[in-house]
């Protein structure tokens, strides 16, 4: 087999993570750069992506002529056929032909998909979801993303807009979500949701180790892990609340799809996944049919930060 390489990218609101895969699907080089995407324009994020790819090629020493393809994720709605980013909430892209711009720059095929769709696909092909045919994936991070594998294929729905079940409404009178609705799963169980709860408790005069962590934005997952280990009462309440609503949502998805596997991934799960899993498992049986629940496994993703990178690779390979 002639030597060739694929470059895979995880593009988020604050960083671009890149990896080079060899022909054995092994990561031989990786790089992460911070990006400041808040309204600075398309060209600024594009420049960080280009810088990451160029630096990885230069520093790894691979032959540019042996580059097979590049793939990337983006949070939001992406036309996976054309590589056009239709909308993304955390990046300045609207109807932006990312794939076209990158093909012109690097002269190789460039593929784009939704971040959590690709994270679930990566786990399905290379991680914890291998061997399952129907997978419901919840990725708990700053927001709450979803991904579906149905009958062995990634399900993206009409115009690639499926699996936004972070915005299933669990309490129509609940907290306001960034999507404009009230009581979405994301408003309860994401870092944004937990941050809002912690701030509310602080405003009532309660004390928490998380006070500084939520002062200027959502907390970092490592801060939550430290607070939970110390028995911080407010942090524990925020997690209990998040897991309660995640259990309800999980039950709803189990009843809807009867999957082989429900998979939890994302930054929060990577940091405190065992705590989340334990709490969800204590509750989830209440919210799904007794005839369905015994046929469903519930697991934590195993690829960590690399879930999306392996999903990119699967996209390149047509898996």
Residues 230 and 165 in one domain: yes
Residues 148 and 190 in one domain: yes
Q: Mean per-residue pLDDT for 35-44?
A: 58
User: Considering the domain boundaries, does residue 126 fall inside one?
Assistant: no
Residues 153 and 112 in one domain: no
pLDDT at 92: 76
Instruction: Give the gyration radius of the chain's Cα atoms.
Output: 20
Our count of domains for the chain comes to 2
Residues 142 and 112 in one domain: no
Q: In what order do the strands lie in the sheet with 94-97?
A: 77-79, 84-87, 94-97
**What is the DSSP code (8-state) at residue 26?**
-
What SS3 state is found at 107? coil
Burial of 44 (0-12, 13-18, 19+ CB in 10 A): middle
Euclidean distance between CA atoms 103 and 107, whole angstroms = 5
Express as a percent the part of the chain with pLDDT over 70: 96
Residues 191 and 141 in one domain: yes
Q: Per-residue pLDDT tens for 55-111?
A: 999 999 999 999 999 999 988 889 988 989 988 876 778 898 999 999 999 999 999
Please identify which residue in the block is written with the tokens 């369905």.
292
Q: Per-residue pLDDT tens for 173-186?
A: 999 998 889 999 99
Which element (helix H / strand E) includes 289? none
Residues 86 and 149 in one domain: no
2, pLDDT greater than 70 = no
User: Considering the domain boundaries, does residue 115 fall inside one?
Assistant: yes
User: Considering the domain boundaries, does residue 280 fall inside one?
Assistant: yes
* Domain with 175 in it: 132-302
Residues 211 and 99 in one domain: no
Residues 172 and 285 in one domain: yes
Residues 91 and 213 in one domain: no
User: Considering the domain boundaries, does residue 124 fall inside one?
Assistant: no
Euclidean distance between CA atoms 75 and 179, whole angstroms = 14
Q: Per-residue pLDDT tens for 244-272?
A: 999 999 999 999 999 999 999 999 999 99
pLDDT at 46: 85
Q: What is the CATH number of the domain that holds 35?
A: 3.30.420.40
Average per-residue pLDDT for the chain = 92
219, pLDDT greater than 60 = yes
Q: What is the pTM of this model?
A: 0.92
Residue 311 exposure: Cα atoms within 13 Å on the Cβ side = 33
- Distance spanning both ends of the chain, measured CA to CA: 19
User: Considering the domain boundaries, does residue 23 fall inside one?
Assistant: yes
Residues 115 and 151 in one domain: no
Residues 205 and 226 in one domain: yes
Residues 289 and 311 in one domain: no
Q: How many CB atoms lie within 10 A of CB 155?
A: 16
């Amino acid at each position: 087999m002639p030597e060739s390489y694929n470059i895979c990218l995880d593009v988020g609101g604050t960083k671009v993570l890149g990896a080079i895969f060899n022909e054995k699907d092994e990561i031989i080089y990786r790089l992460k750069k911070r990006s400041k995407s808040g309204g600075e324009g398309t060209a600024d994020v594009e420049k960080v992506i280009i810088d990451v790819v160029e630096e990885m090629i230069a520093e790894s020493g691979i032959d540019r002529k042996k580059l097979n393809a590049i793939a990337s994720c983006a949070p939001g709605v992406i036309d996976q056929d054309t590589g056009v980013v239709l909308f993304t909430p955390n990046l300045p892209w609207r109807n932006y032909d990312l794939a076209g711009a990158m093909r012109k720059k690097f002269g190789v095929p460039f593929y784009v998909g939704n971040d959590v769709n690709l994270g679930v696909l990566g786990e399905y092909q290379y991680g914890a979801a291998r061997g399952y045919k129907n997978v419901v994936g919840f990725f708990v991070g700053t927001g709450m993303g979803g991904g579906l594998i149905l009958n062995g294929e990634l399900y993206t729905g009409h115009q690639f807009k499926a699996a936004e079940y972070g915005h299933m409404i669990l309490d129509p009178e609940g907290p306001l979500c960034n999507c404009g609705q009230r009581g979405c799963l994301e408003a309860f169980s994401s870092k944004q949701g937990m941050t809002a709860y912690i701030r509310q408790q602080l405003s009532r005069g309660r004390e928490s180790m998380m006070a500084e962590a939520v002062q200027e934005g959502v907390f970092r997952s490592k801060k939550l892990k430290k607070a939970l280990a110390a028995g911080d009462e407010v942090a524990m309440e925020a997690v209990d609340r998040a897991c309660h609503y995640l259990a309800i949502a999980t039950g709803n998805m189990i009843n809807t799809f009867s999957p082989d596997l429900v998979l939890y991934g994302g930054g929060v799960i990577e940091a405190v996944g065992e705590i989340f899993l334990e709490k969800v498992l204590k509750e989830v049986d209440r919210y799904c049919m007794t005839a369905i629940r015994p046929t469903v496994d519930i697991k934590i993703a195993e690829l960590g930060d690399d879930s999306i990178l392996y999903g990119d690779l699967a996209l390149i390979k047509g898996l």
